[in-house]
């Protein structure tokens, strides 16, 4: 117990959900009983029934996670992506507990809270790195915006009545151009998110690659593309087309004027995820999407 007192866990929760508030209360109680410190944001603390010994911090910056060994995130995909922002900026691993619908970034479900607390207390988890992407927007030859994403950077149309005219480029060479609703540039982690909804392939997380997936393209050749992780993907918004919008992980946005160029490459900084299970991604995929596997016999013995 004494040894644990020097250990601190940062807790991030979607306090707009009653289930998240109750889950946060259970996790905090379990960690405190085991002698670990807990730190939360002041803005979330006001909605949580927290004991006095819980530390609160005002600023939502990477510095607020100083000395924390783990970020525990309770919520749906949006909350988990918010936690990923903290994890990338601080280098502290993130452990996600899914309180939403699918939650591919999550390592545990709501019913696993006792197990989560036990694994955190005993340090019975492993840490893996997930590839990110760096995003640069050019306008008239000048860099006007920089961002990053864990899942995807999506270039989308704004006007519902008009398509976005784009030209796609890979490694400095044009591939094709067409009118579309948008283009998703994704990581393997993001292959089961927006890119999946747009008809892209499911890519196992350990595969290092970049994806480019058209959304409702008006073209004969508009297939998803999978490239080397060292490739540079570019989407050029044609000068004669209406302006578009860039979304990074569905959280950060930028209006794209006509003629803008969006470049996507492998991110310099990964996101570290804490893992509790050794289950394969195949099993995770089957469980998350409730895929029909009855009748499977397995390899012959």
For the residues 263-278, what does the mean pLDDT come to? 94
Tell me if 142 is assigned to a ligand binding site: no
Mark whether 207 and 238 lie in a shared domain. Answer: yes
The two beta strands, 152-157 and 182-186, are: antiparallel
Q: What is d(CA 197, CA 102) in angstroms, rounded to the nearest whole number?
A: 13
The pLDDT, as a whole number, for residue 2 is 47
Mark whether 241 and 125 lie in a shared domain. Answer: no
Mark whether 124 and 172 lie in a shared domain. Answer: no
Tell me if 162 is assigned to a ligand binding site: yes
Tokens of 75: 């919520």
The pLDDT, as a whole number, for residue 58 is 84
Residue 154 within a domain: yes
Residue 3 within a domain: no
Catalytic residue, chosen from 47, 77, 111, 112, is: 77
Mark whether 177 and 213 lie in a shared domain. Answer: yes
Q: What is d(CA 205, CA 191) in angstroms, rounded to the nearest whole number?
A: 9
Residue 298 within a domain: no
For the residues 173-194, what does the mean pLDDT come to? 97
Catalytic residue status for 283 = no
Mark whether 164 and 152 lie in a shared domain. Answer: yes
The pLDDT, as a whole number, for residue 3 is 55
Domain containing 212 — which CATH number? Answer: 2.60.200.30
Residue 294 within a domain: no
**What average pLDDT is seen over the chain?**
92
Q: What is d(CA 157, CA 182) in angstroms, rounded to the nearest whole number?
A: 6
Mark whether 144 and 248 lie in a shared domain. Answer: yes
Residue 2 within a domain: no
Domain containing 61 — which CATH number? Answer: 3.40.50.10330
Question: Is the pLDDT confidence value at 28 over 70?
Answer: yes
Residue 170 within a domain: yes
Q: Which domain holds residue 219?
A: 133-266
**Number of domain units in the chain:** 2
For the residues 143-147, what does the mean pLDDT come to? 97
pLDDT digits (tens, 9 = 90+) for 67-93: 999 999 999 889 999 999 999 999 999
Mark whether 125 and 162 lie in a shared domain. Answer: no
Tell me if 152 is assigned to a ligand binding site: yes
Mark whether 117 and 175 lie in a shared domain. Answer: no
Sign of the dihedral defined by the CA atoms of residues 250, 251, 252, 257, in that order: positive
Tell me if 122 is assigned to a ligand binding site: no
For the residues 215-221, what does the mean pLDDT come to? 93
Mark whether 119 and 38 lie in a shared domain. Answer: yes
pLDDT digits (tens, 9 = 90+) for 156-171: 999 888 899 999 999 9
Mark whether 142 and 84 lie in a shared domain. Answer: no
pLDDT digits (tens, 9 = 90+) for 188-213: 999 999 999 999 999 999 999 999 99
Q: Tell me what percent of the residues of the chain surpass a pLDDT of 90.
A: 73
Mark whether 123 and 167 lie in a shared domain. Answer: no
The pLDDT, as a whole number, for residue 176 is 96
Which residue in the block uniquely carries the two structure tokens 């918010």? 82
User: What is the three-class DSSP state of 229?
Assistant: coil
Residue 300 within a domain: no
The pLDDT, as a whole number, for residue 159 is 84
pTM: 0.92
Mark whether 160 and 282 lie in a shared domain. Answer: no
Contact 269, 148 (CB under 8 A): yes
For the residues 282-297, what does the mean pLDDT come to? 92
The pLDDT, as a whole number, for residue 1 is 47
Tell me if 151 is assigned to a ligand binding site: yes
The pLDDT, as a whole number, for residue 5 is 59
The pLDDT, as a whole number, for residue 140 is 92
pLDDT digits (tens, 9 = 90+) for 48-68: 888 889 999 987 777 888 899
The pLDDT, as a whole number, for residue 19 is 81
Lowest mean per-residue pLDDT among 121-125, 192-196, 284-288: 284-288
């Amino acid at each position: 117990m004494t040894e644990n007192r020097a250990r601190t866990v940062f807790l991030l929760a979607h306090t707009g959900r009653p289930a998240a508030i109750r889950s946060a209360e259970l996790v905090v109680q379990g960690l405190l009983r085991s002698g670990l410190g807990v730190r939360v944001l002041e803005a979330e603390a006001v909605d949580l029934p927290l004991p006095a010994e819980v530390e609160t911090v005002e600023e939502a910056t990477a510095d607020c996670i100083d000395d924390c060994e783990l970020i525990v995130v309770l919520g749906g995909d949006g909350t988990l992506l918010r936690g990923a922002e903290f994890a990338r900026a601080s280098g502290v691993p993130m452990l996600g507990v899914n309180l939403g619908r699918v939650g591919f970034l999550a390592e545990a479900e709501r019913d696993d809270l006792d197990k989560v607390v036990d694994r955190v207390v005993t340090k019975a988890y492993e840490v893996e790195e997930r590839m990110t992407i760096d995003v640069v927007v050019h306008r008239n030859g000048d860099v006007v915006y920089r961002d990053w994403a864990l899942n995807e950077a999506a270039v989308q149309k704004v006007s519902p009545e008009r398509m976005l005219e784009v030209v796609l480029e890979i490694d400095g060479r044009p591939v094709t151009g067409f009118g579309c609703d948008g283009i998703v540039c994704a990581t393997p982690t993001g292959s089961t998110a927006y890119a999946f909804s747009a008809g892209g392939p499911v890519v196992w997380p350990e595969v290092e690659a970049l994806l480019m997936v058209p959304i409702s393209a008006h073209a004969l050749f508009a297939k998803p593309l999978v490239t080397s992780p060292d490739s540079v993907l570019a989407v050029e918004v044609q000068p004669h087309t209406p302006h578009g919008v860039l979304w990074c992980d569905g959280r950060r946005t930028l209006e794209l004027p006509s003629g803008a160029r969006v470049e996507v490459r492998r991110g310099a900084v990964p996101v570290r995820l804490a893992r509790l299970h050794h289950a394969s991604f195949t099993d995770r995929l089957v469980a998350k999407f409730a895929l029909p596997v009855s009748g499977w016999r397995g390899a012959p013995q």
